[in-house]
Amino acid sequence: MIQQRQFGTNNQYSWFTINAETTDLANVVVDDYQLDTEAITYALDKNERAHIDYDSDKDRLLVVYNALNLKKDDNHYETIPITFIATDDSLITIVNEENRYVTDLIATALNRHEEQSIFNLLFTSLTMISNRYFPVMDEIDREKDRLNALLRKTTTKESLLALSDLETGSVYILAAANQNVLLLEQLKSHPRFRHLKEEELEQLDDALIEARQLASMSQLHSQILQQLSSAFNNVLNNNLNDNLTKLTIMSILLAVLAVITGFFGMNVPLPFSQNGSAWIFISLASIMLWILGAFLLKYLIKQK
């Protein structure tokens, strides 16, 4: 399905929205929408990296930008590329079901200010896409604090898996944010776009500022989550070492008792073997050796 909307001072520009999942892009009229095989390939590839492609012959700019997928996949957020094609008189947005919400953001921006240029609308769209990440980053931050509080009380498998999901989602967002920053920096330094109107350059700067802020926030969240994960892994390792140490001490102490009682279980003459009350003295001696051994092992462990 292809939707069209006019905008600009005298409605001289057109904004086309194409849903790649409900439209047969192969049969779209190329001349009408500035689409070719390369653009269609980019639009259909959900693993495409953020980048720009400028065709000087057609004066056409293709932008693939990383948008946030608002639906979690395996309990973490991921990103999905969205394709923009800007020409001298039209802006084409190719979306799918995961990033279709971006068209609502663009429509809202046009409702507020219809007298925009092609590049003004493009850069505004990129800014709004970056802004859509921030509520999710706040959600990740709150979830991180909640899991941190839970893990400080009790380190459970469920909490550790939830922390791992947060860390995975943070890595996806960080990679996407860094790619978006590189894209906007390339766009700003491109010779074709150095001579845009002042208002368009300001909007491009705003988009770059938001993208850099998102990348910085994502980097901070990712580092914090990695440190938390590493810290709780160390706690689990220390707990395991403590448990193994205790079990080793118990096995050594029990071995002392086993050696003493083992001697008296042999069919050989031993002291007190004919005394009916000898087991009392043997038990007391075993307990004393057991206590002495416990203190000795405890002392050696503290020395380490």
Instruction: For residue 21, give Cα distances in angstroms to 64, 80, 94, 248.
Output: 17, 14, 10, 62
* Whole-number pLDDT of residue 235: 73
Q: Give the β-pairing of 13-19 and 51-55.
A: unpaired
* Whole-number pLDDT of residue 36: 67
Same domain, 176 and 266: no
Same domain, 265 and 127: no
Same domain, 182 and 224: yes
Q: Give the β-pairing of 2-7 and 13-19.
A: antiparallel
Cβ pair 107, 113 in contact under 8 A: no
Q: Which burial class, exposed, middle or buried, applies to 107 when counting CB atoms under 10 A from its CB (0-12, 13-18, 19+)?
A: middle
Same domain, 272 and 127: no
* Whole-number pLDDT of residue 233: 74
Q: Which residues contact 141 (CB under 8 A, 6 or more apart)?
A: 221
Report how far residue 26's alpha carbon sits from residue 31's, in angstroms, rounded to the nearest whole number.
13
The CB density around residue 51, as the number of other CB atoms within 10 Å, is: 15
Same domain, 145 and 279: no
Task: Estimate to the nearest angstrom the gap between the alpha carbon of 201 and the chain centroid.
Answer: 31
Same domain, 187 and 166: yes
Instruction: For residue 39, give Cα distances in angstroms to 45, 62, 85, 191, 225.
Output: 10, 7, 8, 22, 37
Same domain, 275 and 136: no
Which tens digit of pLDDT belongs to each residue from 43-72?
Answer: 677 778 888 888 888 888 889 999 999 888
Same domain, 102 and 234: yes
- Domain boundaries, position 252: 240-303
* Whole-number pLDDT of residue 26: 56
**Low pLDDT (below 50) residues in the chain:** 29
* Residue of 124, 121, 91, 113 whose CA lies nearest to 16: 91
Same domain, 257 and 136: no
Same domain, 143 and 120: yes
Domain count, the chain: 2
Residue 161 sits in a domain of what CATH number?
3.30.460.20
Last residue of a domain, one of 197, 212, 238: 238
- Specify the residue for token string 């990695």: 226
Last residue of a domain, one of 217, 238, 259: 238
Report how far residue 83's alpha carbon sits from residue 118's, in angstroms, rounded to the nearest whole number.
15
Q: What is the 3-state secondary structure (H, E, C) of the chain?
A: CEEEEEECCCCCEEEEEEECCCCCHHHCCHHHHCCCHHHHHHHHCCCCCCEEEEECCCCEEEEEEEEEEEEEECCEEEEEEEEEEECCCEEEEEECCCCCHHHHHHHHHHHHCCCCCHHHHHHHHHHHHHHCHHHHHHHHHHHHHHHHHHHHHCCCHHHHHHHHHHHHHHHHHHHHHHHHHHHHHHHHHCHHHCCCCHHHHHHHHHHHHHHHHHHHHHHHHHHHHHHHHHHHHHHHHHHHHHHHHHHHHHHHHHHHHHHHHHHHCCCCCCCCCCCCCHHHHHHHHHHHHHHHHHHHHHHHHHHC
